[in-house]
Amino acid sequence: MESGPWTVTAEQAGQTVAAVLRAHVPSLSWSKARELVERGQVRVDGRTVTDAAERLQAGMTVERAGREGAPARREPDLLVHLDAEVAVVRKPAGLLTVPFERTDRDTLLSRARVAIRRRETSRGAVHNPTLRAVQRLDKDTSGLVVFARTLPAQRHLQRQFTEHTALRRYLAIVHGAARDAIYDTVLVPDRGDGLRGSWNARRGDPSPEARGAVTYVAVEKRLRGATLVSCRLETGRTHQIRIHLSEAGHPLLGETVYVRDFKGAWLPAPRLMLHATELGFVHPHTGEELRFTEAPPDDFIAVLEELSRRA
């Protein structure tokens, strides 16, 4: 079978990966083209893609990768819970939740669609799943995320997050000896040094973009030079946990932004040590109270174990 690379023409712009692949390899059936993509055997601009429904732009290159008959890559199952209204998904660190720019193709949203299509196709349903964003995690944060599958479900879930009735609990490894605390501040886009942070009344009235932010912090374990804490959100402002703990003198391990005022010894970490470990909400259709927990991934556990050995 030909392997390319092939360049997406102006006439092919907007077509799916599977469609462009079939245009250059007419002997491929639709099901075989989708299977090759979902098995990680097709690259677009050098990037392995797994969503056969991803639409391409003119000038992109498409090529086969991997040998015929190669076994499918074994990847962790993203799906924690799936029904007709909601999907709860485990997000790996290093991945955007949703696209930030049009060129962001590989996101949790796109991977979740592939995972849902695979599961439901195996049950006889063939379609391109609709997913609607309800919440977002930072790129370097791991853990649980909920997507809505219908517009009414999205509105119902968003209302729970807005009214602070949804449960969100995170685990974080922070510098120093943190304490149990409640951080209740007003966050502004620019605290005076160009960074997002808590408003200081001495600087006058806050900007119109100011929003209240409440984080409940509880110590889980003392470590050598650090503390494992759990953080329950009442609100869900951008970088809320990172800001509150940094302003308290306990920036997260792996923090690269909110670090200007920290004078202590830095501890190494492969990424931001923040994990969304618990998520709870009322099901938008059945009214059932759902609660999910997810243990931290291996990179988080490795840092925790290393600091525990030193303690």
Task: Give percent of the chain with pLDDT exceeding 70.
Answer: 92
Q: How far apart are the first and last CA of the chain?
A: 58
Tell me the mean pLDDT in the region 136-146.
Answer: 96
Name the residue with higher pLDDT: 155 or 191: 155
Catalytic residue list contains 45: no
Domain ranges of the chain: 6-64, 79-159, 164-310
Name the residue with higher pLDDT: 176 or 70: 176
CATH superfamily of 6-64: RNA-binding S4 domain (3.10.290.10)
CATH topology of domain 164-310: Pseudouridine synthase (3.30.2350)
pLDDT at 57: 85
pLDDT at 205: 72
Catalytic residue among 106, 138, 140, 184: 138
Distance (Å, whole) CA 296 – CA 134 = 22
Name the residue with higher pLDDT: 197 or 67: 197
Distance (Å, whole) CA 237 – CA 186 = 10
Rounded to the nearest integer, the mean pLDDT of the chain is: 88
Is the fold of 79-159 the same as that of 164-310? Answer: yes
Tell me the mean pLDDT in the region 187-215.
Answer: 81
pLDDT at 204: 67
Q: What is the pTM of this model?
A: 0.76
Residue range 79-159, CATH number: 3.30.2350.10
Q: What is the pLDDT of residues 41-84, one digit of tens each?
A: 888 887 888 888 788 888 888 988 765 444 444 456 899 999 99
Q: 256 exposed, middle or buried (CB, 10 Å; 0-12, 13-18, 19+)?
A: exposed
